[in-house]
Amino acid sequence: MDGAVGRKEMNFLSIVELERRLNEIQDVDILLEQILTEARRIVNADAGSIYVLSGTAEKRLAIKHSQNDTQLRRLSAGEKLPYLSFSFPIDEKSIAGYVACTGKNLNIEDVYALPGALPYKFNRQMDVETDYRTKSMLTVPLKSAGGTLLGVLQIINALDGDGAVIPFGADAELYVEHFAISAAQILHRAYSASGMVRRMLRLSEFRDPKETYPHVERVSSISLEIYDRWAFDNCVPEGERARFRDNLKIAAKFHDIGKVGISDLILKKTWPRFTDGERSVMKGHTCIGAMLFHPAETELDKMCIDVALHHHERWDGADSGYPGAFSVADSTVQTAPEATAASAECKYEIGGELSVFRPLKGWEIPLAARIVAVADVFDALSHKRCYKEAWSLDDAFSEIEGGSGTQFDPEVVQSFLKIRGRVAAIVSAIPDDAEE
């Protein structure tokens, strides 16, 4: 077998293995991130971006992920590149827009040397701002089997064995094009699953206007950023980290899904504030949320139970934490050893009051719930509610820091404070009136 032919076959076999791994990813955002990572790896590219369709009236391309190894090496260990959020019209004036409009690949040797007669041009602004030199660029569409545009994949600066920038060759374009076709089909299936998640969350929003979709998106995104930093600081192996973050991104969205089982008389009450009895009924949303995912058939189901059930526990085990040690299997509150036999038989009934016999404490609280607790409280503080005005980001950060060691896990808070810039960017990128 000719050496070049053998290498081609090996590359295609590796792409098949990549496709298998991508099929295991459940969350759309994480899948998009991994598609970009793997596409760059296939052709040894220094950087790249992935765009998806956004907007309703006017379709636009919005950036979802951007990666740049050269810029990443300039940062301290564990830091990430700035969180980007922008969109632009789908027209032939930009390189990605041209590919989206025409459905054709663009393989450019040097984006700074494009002839002026072309309809598209390269915007150098980002290069100037980041002191980077984009040169070779390969841009391909991501289309479903039916030809529907899902997004655009853009790979930047192919590197040779010595790290020098080279053009993307014909083989590189072939590999990325083949990979993009398969990745788009996987992405299409993930969008279908994501649509079901969105509809479930819409149900919660219809019941509780305070539980907006932008809120759950922010909590989900902030939770992921907290975990990434926590996992780096705790040297979590890559495989374990990948599985956890994929589940967390989805599970965090369901933290308050149990409110669908709370009476409107309580759920939508704005004034006067809750009586003690009403507050106990409201606390039952944690148990209802966990029940929705029981029996757990997957690791995602298990994490959804952990998050829904325990995101209101307190690190110090104080009585205000809830619901405590609750058995989803038999819907029975498990009491402390010294509790009486009568109280041990207490059951939570949907619509009734929740009696908390023993709040969880410290490491008893699942990690996912400890992370979502921080993200949820921060987002609630920093946004307007019917009973309060929005706090400033500075005040919200200070409140979380002040709860370290009492309400919140100190390690989680430490990780949260290290990513302050990315958290602020997420808040800015997903406003309450965000267009879907």
Chain-centre distance for alpha carbon 270: 31
pLDDT, position 209: 66
Across residues 103-114, what is the average pLDDT? 97
Q: Is 71 exposed, middle or buried (0-12, 13-18, 19+ CB in 10 A)?
A: middle
Q: Give the model confidence (pLDDT) of 160-182 as tens digits.
A: 999 999 999 999 999 999 999 99
Collapsing DSSP to helix, strand or coil, 16 comes out as helix
Q: Using the predicted structure, report yes or no on whether residue 384 has a pLDDT greater than 80.
A: yes
Whether 276 and 319 have beta carbons less than 8 Å apart is answered as no
Strand partners, 388: 385
Residue type, 305: I
Quote the pLDDT of residue 326.
Answer: 85
DSSP 404: B
For 174, 338, 397, the CA distances from 423, given in Å and listed in that order, are: 38, 43, 10
pLDDT of amino acid 340: 38
SS3 62: strand
What's the confidence (pLDDT) of residue 352? 87
pLDDT confidence bin for 5, thresholds 50/70/90 = very low
Give dist(CA 134, CA 127) in Å, integer.
7
Residue with tokens 């040397």: 113
CB under 8 Å to 23, separation ≥6 — which residues?
A: 186
Mean pLDDT lowest for which of 21-25, 159-163, 367-371?
21-25
Amino acid identity for residue 238 in this structure: E
Residues 56/204/257/26 CA torsion (nearest 10 deg): -20
Q: How confident is the model at residue 334 (pLDDT cuts 50, 70, 90)?
A: very low
- Of 325, 368, 354, nearest to 262 (Cα)? 354
* Percent of the chain whose predicted confidence (pLDDT) is above 70: 90
For residue 346, pLDDT beyond 90: no
pLDDT of the residue at 272: 74
Query: What confidence tier does 385 reach under pLDDT thresholds 50, 70, 90?
Result: confident
Q: Is the dihedral of CA 116, 120, 125, 128 positive or negative?
A: negative
Q: Which tens digit of pLDDT belongs to each residue from 177-213?
A: 999 999 999 999 999 889 888 888 888 878 776 668 8
- Distance between CA atoms of residues 167 and 46, nearest Å: 12
Q: What is the pLDDT of residue 432?
A: 86
At residue 335, does pLDDT exceed 50?
no
The pLDDT assigned to 4 comes to 52
Comparing 191-205, 248-262, 305-319, the range with the smallest average pLDDT is 191-205
* pLDDT at residue 16 greater than cutoff 90: no
Q: Inform me whether the pLDDT recorded for 289 exceeds 50.
A: yes
pLDDT band at 336 (very low <50, low <70, confident <90, very high): very low
Please state the rounded mean pLDDT for residues 102-124. 97
Do 36 and 49 touch, CB atoms closer than 8 A?
Answer: yes
Q: Considering Cα of 87, then 89, then 93, then 97, what sign does the dihedral take?
A: positive
pLDDT of residue 424: 97
Overall average pLDDT of the 323-341 stretch: 60
Amino acid at 29: D
Backbone Cα Rg of the chain: 24
Q: Assign 8 a pLDDT band (cuts: 50, 70, 90).
A: low
- Whether the pLDDT of residue 21 is over 90: the answer is no
Indicate the range of 28-32, 138-142, 254-258, 343-347 predicted with least confidence: 343-347
Integer angstrom CA distances of residue 340 from 187, 321, 370 = 53, 21, 30
CA dist 158 and 164 (Å) reads 8
Mean pLDDT (whole number) for 86-95: 95
Q: How confident is the model at residue 331 (pLDDT cuts 50, 70, 90)?
A: low
Is 257 within 8 Å of 201 (Cβ atoms)? yes
Q: What is the pLDDT of residue 254?
A: 96
* Average pLDDT, rounded, for the chain: 90
Kindly report the length of the chain.
436
State how far the Cα of 227 lies from the Cα of 223, in Å rounded to an integer.
6
Q: Residue 52 is inside which H or E element, if any?
A: strand 45-54
- In this prediction, residue 281 has a pLDDT band, given cuts at 50, 70 and 90, of very high
